[in-house]
Structure 1
Amino acid sequence: MSRENFKYWICQIVGWGAYAGISIFFYLTLSTRKIDNFFLLVAIDILIGLGVSHLMRMVIKEYKFLQNYIQKQIVLFGITIIVFSVVYACADVGIEKLLGVKDTMGENISVWNEIARNSINNFFILFIWNLIYYTYHYIEFNRLQELNTLKLKASVKELELKTIKSHINPHFIFNALNSIRALVDENPVRARTAITELSNILRSSMQTEKLETVPLERELNIVKDYLALEQMRFEERLKVELKIDEDTLEQPVPPMMLQTLVENAIKHGISKKMNGGVIRIISSFKNDHHELIVQNTGQLSGHFNEDGFGIRSTQDRLNLLYHGNAVFSLTNLNDEMVQTKIVIPV
């Protein structure tokens, strides 16, 4: 027996058992006359009610009443109760007549009148049964729909993050390989050193591929390897300054995010300056937020601000991971410096 059917039968037994208990209670406490075979009559009524309600459920499931729009469900709800109230009454009156245990309170009434009267009584019983059944399935349907929606959103979020990562890693690799290629003829020794640095970076990036966040210290190690590689290409044209609050080293940040910002700073800032410039990385706590700042020599252009993939991917990742609670800004700090600032709630 499935879990759903087990719960259904428990509810059936408890519900009809409660109906029997209420009937017996009122008979024993409020009835002013003795009814022959009362307990047998109650037992027959409960057993027939159990069977009729189960048959009614089978019809509801077989013809998928619950999958119709709400207006049609209401119409089917009413028709179902009327039909099965009559079925309930016919079975009840028929079996009691067959067994000769029907209590008519001394009245001489026809079978059709008995069926009509029982149908009215049964209508209210089955109305309550159906109301409970429909309400339960309506709530369960909405709960499952909400759960499926959350699962879908989570899947979309995971897919978006993986897509962003799949763009970031090749973007970084191609730039790094171009840097190494520039060193191969000019300085083979440094090129070999650069390959070692690149292997360290790739190893670290592959290890973080399955992680949504990593400690800042781990991300900084990748950035230091990348900057060491780039310093071989730019030599004295590239100066690096780190201002890192040690208390922030354990703070979680999206993997490869800082490296992407530094890479953009070099590509769009330092590499376009004949005399090179400065890359400054700052990490600190302010007002219960983690501020991560990358400053570089250069000036923003509209083209860079709108179309740079690294900037878009960073914004997308922050929105997905922190649900809009992280702040990203890219501005000209002054006439010589550009600042990228990320504020993440602690």
Structure 2
Amino acid sequence: MSKRRVYWVCQIFGWTSLILVEYLAYLFQEGFDPNALYLAIANIGLGISLTHLYRLMIRRLNWVRLPFLQLAPRVLLSVFVLALIMTAVNLPIDRLIVPTYFVDEPWIVMGYIMTWGKTMLAWVLSYTVYHYVERTRDAEIEQILLKTSIRDTEAKVLRSQLNPHFMFNALNSIRALVYENPTKAQQGITQLSNLLRNSLLADRRKTVELREEIKTVEDYLSLEKVRYEERLQSHIELDPRTLFWQVPPMMLQTLVENAIKHGVSKAVSGGFVDVTSQLDNEKLHLVIRNTGVLGDKEASGGFGLANTTQRLELLYGPDARFSIGQEDDNIVRADIIIPIQSDTIFRRREAVQKGV
């Protein structure tokens, strides 16, 4: 049932029940009087009309957005006006129908206003509080949606980063190979196009399978080896159970890029980059080890480290962790822990069934 239909059902049922109780009380005391019946029917219509006008007014004036100290006096004034109108209609007619009730009653007008005021106050408070609470809830939902939208936008920006300096160096390396080793140059162009495609697709996907991310890392390392040759050694060892685990796209590539840029490239005789994965208590544990000295994290990691931390927090919350430190004098180690997700479980079971 729609809110509008619920509102009208409550209006008609509520006012009819209230006036009917008063009319039955009069009927038991005074007997049947057609004028009293007509007045009861008129009061039902008048009560519905007045309270509906109040509803239209507060919606038009948007009172539910007001602070409580501004809303309260407006509500009390509305109750008084509504009670005054009901009194103005009922009092003259009641003087004609039941004149005996008005004998020796000096405060009869005030009594009518108080009686109708209680009724109107109950209705107005119920309606106003309902909409005040609903408006507060809608505002909270809007804030949640806004925060979600901001987080999604931030995640898209963070996912789509690809170092332009790497692109420049990779193109120069491929250009040098065009005449020396055309086959290897073609292979390099294919690997570079794969990296570009994955970078462009990164803002459309929140996560990818680890095996897909590793292919991106392998393409990146192959291109860098063209530049560094024997000065760069790499090794990737993955637990087969982790291949279908969902990870942020381009995350490992960014960390490997930082490892080469701030570690291997600065070592006189070059160095290595190792990537391993394993399962630990139903959590994915990724380790990137490389030659280098960490020093200042901001200077050593730059945007990549902050990128990784933010992305993991946006996607997985506090259960995901990223840390980087010096394993020994000349080796830097980065650890990533990603909790399991339902889609990861499904993919793992599917892979087992297929014998992958």
| Both proteins in one fold, TM over 0.5 | yes
Matches within 5 A, 1:91-106: 91-94=89-92, 102-104=97-99, 106=100
Aligned to 2:51: 53
* Paired residue type of 2:165: F
Cα 1:46/1:150, change in 2 over 3 Å: same
**Alignment RMSD:** 2.6
* Paired residue type of 1:179: A
> Does the residue aligned with 2:144 lie in a helix, a strand or coil?
helix
The answer to whether the 8 A contact 2:65-2:135 is kept is no
**Matching of residue 221 in structure 1 with residue 215 in structure 2:** yes
Provide the C-alpha distance between the structure 2 equivalents of 1:322 and 1:54, rounded to a whole number of angstroms: 48
Aligned to 2:352: none
**Matching of residue 179 in structure 1 with residue 176 in structure 2:** no
Provide the C-alpha distance between the structure 2 equivalents of 1:304 and 1:70, rounded to a whole number of angstroms: 48
Aligned to 2:13: 14
* Paired residue type of 2:17: A
Aligned to 2:318: 324
The answer to whether the 8 A contact 2:264-2:271 is kept is yes
Structure 1 unaligned spans of 5+ = none
* Paired residue type of 1:77: V
Provide the C-alpha distance between the structure 2 equivalents of 1:275 and 1:22, rounded to a whole number of angstroms: 97
Aligned to 1:71: 69
Identity of aligned residues (%): 32
> Does the residue aligned with 2:318 lie in a helix, a strand or coil?
coil
How far is 1:304 from its partner?
4.9
Aligned to 2:31: 34
* Paired residue type of 1:184: R
* Paired residue type of 1:204: N
Between 62-71 and 206-215, the greater mean CA deviation after superposition? 62-71
Provide the C-alpha distance between the structure 2 equivalents of 1:16 and 1:67, rounded to a whole number of angstroms: 27
**Matching of residue 232 in structure 1 with residue 229 in structure 2:** no
How far is 1:212 from its partner?
0.8
> Does the residue aligned with 1:16 lie in a helix, a strand or coil?
helix
Between 65-74 and 323-332, the greater mean CA deviation after superposition? 65-74
**Matching of residue 133 in structure 1 with residue 127 in structure 2:** yes
Which whole-Å deviations, capped at 9, do the CAs of 1:214-235 have from their partners, x for residues lacking one?
Answer: 1111111111111122222222
The answer to whether the 8 A contact 1:44-1:92 is kept is no
**Matching of residue 265 in structure 1 with residue 259 in structure 2:** yes
The answer to whether the 8 A contact 1:48-1:91 is kept is no
How far is 1:188 from its partner?
4.6
How far is 1:53 from its partner?
1.5
Aligned to 1:85: 83
Provide the C-alpha distance between the structure 2 equivalents of 1:255 and 1:270, rounded to a whole number of angstroms: 23
TM-score (norm 2): 0.84
Structure 2 unaligned spans of 5+ = 341-356
The answer to whether the 8 A contact 1:216-1:252 is kept is yes
Cα 1:275/1:307, change in 2 over 3 Å: closer
* Paired residue type of 1:139: V
TM-score (norm 1): 0.87
The answer to whether the 8 A contact 1:261-1:310 is kept is yes
* Paired residue type of 1:316: Q
The answer to whether the 8 A contact 1:240-1:278 is kept is yes
> Does the residue aligned with 2:138 lie in a helix, a strand or coil?
helix
1:155 pairs with one of 149, 155, 176: 149
How far is 1:184 from its partner?
2.4
How far is 1:261 from its partner?
0.6
Provide the C-alpha distance between the structure 2 equivalents of 1:103 and 1:45, rounded to a whole number of angstroms: 16
The answer to whether the 8 A contact 1:36-1:103 is kept is no
Between 189-198 and 127-136, the greater mean CA deviation after superposition? 189-198
1:146 pairs with one of 140, 152, 176: 140
> Does the residue aligned with 2:289 lie in a helix, a strand or coil?
strand
> Does the residue aligned with 1:324 lie in a helix, a strand or coil?
helix
How far is 1:211 from its partner?
0.6
Provide the C-alpha distance between the structure 1 equivalents of 2:32 and 2:110, rounded to a whole number of angstroms: 21
Between 269-278 and 128-137, the greater mean CA deviation after superposition? 269-278
Between 73-82 and 301-310, the greater mean CA deviation after superposition? 301-310
Aligned to 2:236: 242
Provide the C-alpha distance between the structure 1 equivalents of 2:337 and 2:314, rounded to a whole number of angstroms: 15
Provide the C-alpha distance between the structure 1 equivalents of 2:294 and 2:87, rounded to a whole number of angstroms: 84
Cα 1:222/1:79, change in 2 over 3 Å: same
* Paired residue type of 1:227: L
Provide the C-alpha distance between the structure 2 equivalents of 1:246 and 1:25, rounded to a whole number of angstroms: 81
Aligned to 2:328: 334
Provide the C-alpha distance between the structure 1 equivalents of 2:288 and 2:20, rounded to a whole number of angstroms: 75
